[in-house]
Structure 1
Amino acid sequence: MKNRLLIKLCCIIGAGTVLLFWMIDILSSQAEQSMSSIADEHKQELRDFAKQAEYIYLKQGEAALEVWLDDLREQEKTWIAVAYSDIKPLANSDFTYRYEQGIWLGRSIDWMIHLYFEYNPIMDIPFSDKNTHFLIQLPQRMRPGKYYTYADSAIQFALPLVLLSLLSLVLYQHLMSPLRRLENATKQFSEGNFDVRINASLDSRDDELTALADTFDHMADRTSKLIASQRQMLSDLSHELRTPLTRMDMAVDFLELQLDPKKAADRLRYEAINMRELVEDALTLAYLDTERPKLNNETFDLAELINVICEDSRFEYPKHTLITHLPDQALIKNSSQRALGQGIENVIRNALHYTPTDKNVMVSLSKTDTLYSLVIQDEGQGVPEELLEDIFKPFFRVDKARTLSDAQSELKIGQKRSGFGLGLSLALRQVEAVKGTIKASNYYSADAQKLGLLITIELPCVSAES
């Protein structure tokens, strides 16, 4: 699923937001409800006021009650009164007894107080006869919800701050945990630990960060392989250059001593040509390994290209028999004539190089619906089965298993030596650059006798464009 991380973050943030509003609503309601009732001690104090007013009224009279009420008003700084609940109906209306008993001149002290009202409500405590009421506007000191403003502020501001901070921390940890691993892996990689990988530690995830880890691991794999390949190539190249340089030193000594100067000059020229070809092939191989170019911008006749290569090879190897089975035309699109030509040429030259002069090299091209299959078959001694994949490695040679032709064992100025073990390596990279494949196998006679090496190159008729 695409955008897994986005979906995950949306779910976490959405759930956190819903939880936040739910908690704010619940806590606000509970805080308001718990703070809207008059405190029990204040309720008892109001009941005591009513009892005392009733006692004075009944025992001392209305005048004494008036004096007491004036003192209480001054003391509590509020409005206080005593009244009858005498309700007179109009138009001969009749109230039931239940209705008359339910009439209140003020609020019961057990009712909740609206915290949002600016004025204090009038509380009603009936006397024993239920018809006389002690009325008092709730004194400010008895008003509930003294700390409601602070509680409401904490619920509205502090609670969201805490919850959002926790949510941010969760999201931060969820995002930064793989990023820290990526940072540590990158640091280790930059310090030379090319085996470090991070995707194995993110198996529990399956999102964009996992894709980033896959990309890093892929980059690390390719980079480490390139570095190892380049190091190996430099080591092999330096080893390969020692021998021709030693021979050149000897040839220079022969020239200085005037010992067969012509042969010494020929040796210098021969070694210089081979060294140049070795360096050029090594640089080409390094370019193909490092850059991995996509060469797919040409359309040409593959049969004609192979035919030209075979004609050049017959000229270069006049004592060998090169047999071709090619169609009249084999159009290939979105490919590279130069890269493919060099790759095929290297394979054919390798086959001629290891085939004795009395044997044959056969080149055949066939076509399916989507692929061209090019087969180069020589009659050398083949390659040990366990080394069939190794022959495509740079500087790998199996001279012990493959016998050089007699003609190639002689020193011939101007003729390519093809003995550094780079030909098939270049062929592999060049064929892969045009989206093709190449593989090697031995072929045998009916009596299981090894007859030679068979290289198969498969090329798409139309390569995918970049």
Structure 2
Amino acid sequence: MKNKLLWRLCALIAVGTVLLFWAIAWLTNHTETSMSFLDKAHQKTLYAYGKEAEKIYLEKGEKALAVFLKEIRTKENSWLAVVNSEMTTFAGTKMLDEFADRFQIGRSPEWKVHLYFSENPVMEVPFVDDNTHFLIQLPQRMRPGSLLLATRLTLQIALPLVILSLLSFMLYRHVMTPLKQLERATKDFANGNLEARAMATMPERNDELTTLAQTFDKMAQRTSSLIYNQRSLLADLSHELRTPLARIDMAIDFVEQDINREQALSRLRYEASTMRELVEDTLTFAWLNTESPQLNSDDFDLVELINVICEDARFEYPDRTLYVDTPECASIGKSSQLALGQALENIVRNALRHTPQKSKVSLTLVSDNQNYIITVTDEGVGVPDSMLDAIFEPFFRVDKARANKTYVHSSKRSGFGLGLALAKRQVAAIGGEISAKNRINSNDTPATARTHAKGTSEKRQAGLVVTITLPKLSNAAFAN
């Protein structure tokens, strides 16, 4: 589901708002209800007035009752009376005009008192005969709800403010917790910790902020990988340049001392060319590795490109046989003839370089519904299985992985270890894939083949198989 954070926040706010209004309404109603009853002490006081009035009336008569009622009236500053069921007053009392028309029966002290009425209600304490009633207008000091205003302000202002503050804090924590983790990871990464990642400390969740953290981690992974690669590339390049620079220094000394001047000048030209080629290959590799370009501007015939490369290779290595098996044509679209040509040239020359004289290198091209598959097989000694992935790394010397170096022409450069690394990046830039595996000699028995694969027996001629898979319409075209 898209916009998970939006829906989660909307649900939290909506549910929180509904619960807030419900809580305020319930608390207000419950609080006002509980505040609408007389205090227990006041109830006892009113009942005591009624019982005392009844006792005086029964024991001492109406005059004594009138005196008692006058004392209570003065004390409570409120109207009171004693009436019978026919609404006839006695003991010197009279009915108030505002109650005369509508009074029927008083309110028990235990009953609820309406807090919003302006006048105080008349409370009743019946005598034992149920025909005589002690009536008293509730004294102001006994009226409940004196804290009603403060309570309403608390429930309608303070409580919502507290609840909304808590809700805001929860929303803040929900949003800011992953953002703070991301901020911390960003600061660590900016301070040089290239292994800093946001998802490592991110709480378990699945929303837009998680996606942001994952995106940051991908960026950090790519950036750190590029930095590590650049550092390694610079270290390897500086190491590779030391040898030709040392030779150049020696050649300059020979020229200055007029020792083998022509040979020294030839060496200078050779080493300068070597360094130029090394720097150009390194810059090309760095560009491919850093920019990860998508090369998809050419449409061409793959067979024609292979034939041109193989003719050049045959001329350079006349003492080896280069066998080519391709269809009449193989059109490929949205690719790069230059990048693919350089990759194929590096792979073919690498195979020829590590194939002994009078031996064969095979190049085959087949196709399926969507891809072209180019296979280059040499008859060298192969590569230890543990190094099959490493041969595509920069400055990895294939010769170091091969068991026998006698196949390399002494008159030709053995390479800088950039050929297959460049080939892999160039093939990737046009949407293809490249892989390598060892070819076991077909004359070996299964047991011998397994032994060769483990590299535990005497090294025997086997070979390396490099496979390139190219989409007929490059995937890079769809990426745009």
TM-score tier (shorter): 0.7 to 0.9
What is the rounded CA distance, in whole Å, between the counterparts of 2:30 and 2:315 in structure 1? 100
Aligned to 2:454: none
Q: For structure 1, which runs of at least 5 residues remain unmatched after alignment?
A: 88-102, 412-416
Relative to structure 1, is the Cα distance of residues 142 and 268 closer, same or farther in structure 2, using a 3 angstrom cutoff? same
Aligned to 1:455: 466
Residue 338 of structure 1, CA deviation: 2.5
Q: SS of the counterpart of 1:106?
A: coil
Q: SS of the counterpart of 1:444?
A: coil
Relative to structure 1, is the Cα distance of residues 119 and 301 closer, same or farther in structure 2, using a 3 angstrom cutoff? farther
Aligned to 2:262: 262
Cα pair 1:297 1:335 within 8 Å, conserved: yes
Residues 289-368 of structure 1 correspond to what in structure 2 (within 5 A)?
Answer: 289-368=289-368
Relative to structure 1, is the Cα distance of residues 463 and 117 closer, same or farther in structure 2, using a 3 angstrom cutoff? farther
What is the rounded CA distance, in whole Å, between the counterparts of 2:230 and 2:223 in structure 1? 10
Aligned to 1:132: 132
What is the rounded CA distance, in whole Å, between the counterparts of 1:302 and 1:446 in structure 2? 30
Relative to structure 1, is the Cα distance of residues 300 and 62 closer, same or farther in structure 2, using a 3 angstrom cutoff? farther
Aligned to 2:411: 410
Residue 128 of structure 1, CA deviation: 3.5
Aligned to 1:421: 417
What is the rounded CA distance, in whole Å, between the counterparts of 2:111 and 2:298 in structure 1? 92
The answer to which of 135-144 and 198-207 deviates more is 198-207
Q: For structure 2, which runs of at least 5 residues remain unmatched after alignment?
A: 88-102, 445-459
Aligned to 2:119: 119
Q: SS of the counterpart of 2:172?
A: helix
Pick one of 433, 437, 440 that aligns with 1:437.
433
What is the rounded CA distance, in whole Å, between the counterparts of 1:379 and 1:262 in structure 2? 39
Aligned to 1:98: none
What is the rounded CA distance, in whole Å, between the counterparts of 1:17 and 1:310 in structure 2? 76
Cα displacement string for residues 432-453 of structure 1 (whole angstroms, at most 9, x for unaligned residues): 1222111112223222353322
What is the rounded CA distance, in whole Å, between the counterparts of 1:118 and 1:346 in structure 2? 102
Q: SS of the counterpart of 1:199?
A: coil
Q: SS of the counterpart of 2:243?
A: helix
Q: How high is the TM-score relative to the length of structure 1?
A: 0.85
Residue 63 of structure 1, CA deviation: 7.3
Cα displacement string for residues 373-428 of structure 1 (whole angstroms, at most 9, x for unaligned residues): 0111223332223222211111111325253656x4226xxxxx461000000001
State the AA in 1 paired with 2:405.
T
Residue 234 of structure 1, CA deviation: 1.0
Residue 8 of structure 1, CA deviation: 4.2
The answer to which of 72-81 and 369-378 deviates more is 72-81
Cα pair 2:356 2:379 within 8 Å, conserved: yes
What is the rounded CA distance, in whole Å, between the counterparts of 1:25 and 1:318 in structure 2? 97
Relative to structure 1, is the Cα distance of residues 140 and 333 closer, same or farther in structure 2, using a 3 angstrom cutoff? farther
RMSD in angstroms over aligned alpha carbons?
Answer: 3.0
Relative to structure 1, is the Cα distance of residues 156 and 277 closer, same or farther in structure 2, using a 3 angstrom cutoff? same
Cα pair 1:381 1:403 within 8 Å, conserved: no
Cα pair 1:107 1:121 within 8 Å, conserved: yes
Aligned to 2:145: 145
Relative to structure 1, is the Cα distance of residues 121 and 374 closer, same or farther in structure 2, using a 3 angstrom cutoff? same
Cα pair 2:347 2:420 within 8 Å, conserved: yes
Cα pair 1:104 1:124 within 8 Å, conserved: no
What is the rounded CA distance, in whole Å, between the counterparts of 1:327 and 1:153 in structure 2? 90
Cα pair 1:350 1:418 within 8 Å, conserved: no
Cα pair 2:181 2:202 within 8 Å, conserved: no
Q: How high is the TM-score relative to the length of structure 2?
A: 0.82
What is the rounded CA distance, in whole Å, between the counterparts of 1:203 and 1:327 in structure 2? 57
Q: SS of the counterpart of 1:334?
A: strand
Cα displacement string for residues 252-293 of structure 1 (whole angstroms, at most 9, x for unaligned residues): 222223333332222212111111111111111111111212
State the AA in 1 paired with 2:363.
V
Q: SS of the counterpart of 2:462?
A: strand
Q: SS of the counterpart of 2:399?
A: coil
What is the rounded CA distance, in whole Å, between the counterparts of 2:379 and 2:40 in structure 1? 112
Matched length: 445
Cα pair 1:375 1:456 within 8 Å, conserved: yes
Q: Residue 372 in 1 paired to residue 367 in 2?
A: no
Relative to structure 1, is the Cα distance of residues 32 and 326 closer, same or farther in structure 2, using a 3 angstrom cutoff? same
Aligned to 1:93: none
Cα displacement string for residues 337-360 of structure 1 (whole angstroms, at most 9, x for unaligned residues): 332222222212222332344223
What is the rounded CA distance, in whole Å, between the counterparts of 1:126 and 1:385 in structure 2? 109
